[in-house]
Amino acid sequence: MKSGVAILTVVAFASVPLWLRDPYLMNALITTGIFIIGAMSLNLLLGFTGQLSLGHIAFFGIGAYVSALTSLGFDVGLPFGLRIVHVPWPPIVGFVLAIVIAGLCGYLVGLLSFRVRGAYFVIVTISFAEVVRLVALNWVELTQGPLALTNIPSITIGLPGLGDLTLRTKLQNYYLVLSVAVVTYLLISRLVHSHFGRAMRGLMENETLAVSVGIDVTKTLTLAAVISAGIAGAAGSLYAHYIRIIDPEVFAFINTVTMVIMVITGGKGSLAGPVVGGMIFGLLPVFLRPIMAPEAQWIAYGGVLIVILFVLPRGIVPSLAQRFAKPRSRAETVAPVAFAERDAKEHA
């Protein structure tokens, strides 16, 4: 149904480097793309399970640090006289490890979400991100703290038979980020349309009913958190190897805010939402730069955010979709929980 639009979009994005020659704008697109991947992962939690996580940057940052440290190597002392020495591994391994370890952290947060919901969950996720930032800042032996991890190598891909390709240029990084973004989109799309996806949405719409129908709350939320965190970790890894310097400021709250803005203005719960929101808010600062004083740019940024939320409170994509919507099977829109129940029974 929407696949035509989706394919067209991907082709359009893929063709950008052919006509866009300005490296500054390419750079902006690449960093925006990385944050869009992060936003898509946040959308999984926010849009499809209804869990408002404001600490999402923690997974992004953890992914960045894991990937950077894996590819740089480290030498750190632990309690009881232990010492861990790690020699540098190829960045691509760092990428995989970033996903794994970030996912693990997502598991911990997911466990927590079983105990608290709503507003409390918001606070706990903010706290988690802050504690991670302070650890990154103070555990200088491992993370270099504020002295920053520098000279992080670019990602190298081993192509069978063709040797190694180091992704150093903008063009290469652009396609890398685009590929990861497309894969992420497809992954989330499959997930959302599977029975697991319906379970998530059932939970979001009416938890008591969902539980009574046999949906395992803990398992669903935890799994969603793990996948979401893992993807964010992947984005963080891309960030580390592109910008090539990581310091604890990566955990700054403003970065979570950026991703949240992308998701909610684009339309949480919609697959294309984070992409649309991301393009707008990732590139807005670029367009504001030449026309306004620096302080005014920020005021405009806040202003645009407020205006979009007032005019299109459900987000851009859902609002647009509503205008062009065809009537769907009424049953499915009205009672996703019932469908989840059917799926649960089928897979029992």
Partner 1 sequence: MKRTFKVVPAIALAIAVIGGVAEAQTIKIGVNEPLTGAFAASGTYVVNGARIAADEINAKGGILGKKLELVIEDNKSNPTEAAAVAEKLITSDKVPVLMGAWGSSLTLAVMPKLMEYETPMVVETSSSGKITTTGNPYIFRISPPSAIEAAAFKGIVDKLELKKVDFLVINNDWGRGTAEDFSKMMKEKGIAVGAVETMDQGAQDMSAQLSKLKGTDSETIIVTTAVDQLTLIFKQASALGLKKRIITTGGSQNPDQIIAQAGAAANGTMHLTTFLPWFPDKTPNPEATNYFISEWKKRGFDFAGCTESFRGYDGIRTVAAAIEKAGKAEPAAIKAALWDIKIKGLNGDIVFRKSGPEGKESGQSQPNVYLIEITDGKIGMKTL
Partner 2 sequence: MSEFLQHLINMLVLGGTYALLGIGLTLIFGIMNVVNFTHGVLYTFGAYIMFIVVQQLGINFFLALPLAVVAGWLLGAAIELTLLRPLRGSDIDTTMLVMIGAWIAMQSGALWIWGGVAKSVATPFPEAPLVLGPVSVSWLRLFVLAAAAMLIVVTYLLINRTKLGCAMRATFQDQDTASLMGVNVDLIYTSTFAIGSSLAAAAGALLGPVYVIFPQMGDLAAVKAFAIVILGGLGNITGAVIGGFILALAEELGAGYVSSGYRDAMGFLIIIAVLIFKPTGLFARSERVG
Residues at the site binding partner 2, with contacts judged by CB under 8 A: 46, 52, 112, 115-120, 122-124, 126-128, 130-131, 134, 137-138, 253, 257, 260-261, 264-265, 268, 293, 295-299, 301-303, 305-306, 309-310, 313
3-state secondary structure of 88: coil
List % helix, strand, coil for the chain (3-state, nearest 5). Answer: 75, 5, 20
Residue 117's binding partner out of partner 1, partner 2, none, with CB under 5 to 8 Å set by partner kind? partner 2
From the list 6, 52, 137, 321, which residue makes contact with partner 1 (rule: CB under 8 A)?
A: 137
Q: Binding of partner 1 at residue 290 (CB under 8 A)? A: yes
The residue (of 172 and 206) whose beta carbon lies closer to partner 2 is 206
Q: How far apart are CA 17 and CA 6, in angstroms?
A: 19
Q: How far apart are CA 235 and CA 98, in angstroms?
A: 9
CB of 129 to partner 2, least distance (A): 9
From the list 122, 213, 284, 292, which residue makes contact with partner 1 (rule: CB under 8 A)?
A: 292
The residue (of 156 and 297) whose beta carbon lies closer to partner 1 is 297
Six token digits for residue 152 = 């992080």
6 burial level (CB within 10 Å; 0-12, 13-18, 19+): middle
Nearest one of 180, 152, 174, 153 to 164, comparing CA atoms: 153
The residue (of 207 and 247) whose beta carbon lies closer to partner 1 is 247
Six token digits for residue 315 = 């987000």
Residue 118's binding partner out of partner 2, partner 1, none, with CB under 5 to 8 Å set by partner kind? partner 2
- What residues contact 324, with CB distance under 8 A and at least 6 apart? none
Q: How far apart are CA 191 and CA 44, in angstroms?
A: 9
Q: Which of residues 226-255 bind partner 1 (CB under 8 A)?
A: 243-245, 247, 249, 252, 254
CB of 295 to partner 1, least distance (A): 6
Q: Binding of partner 1 at residue 127 (CB under 8 A)? A: no
347 burial level (CB within 10 Å; 0-12, 13-18, 19+): exposed
Which stretches of the chain bind partner 1, using CB under 8 A?
22-24, 27-28, 31, 134, 137-138, 140, 145-148, 150-151, 243-245, 247, 249, 252, 254, 289-298
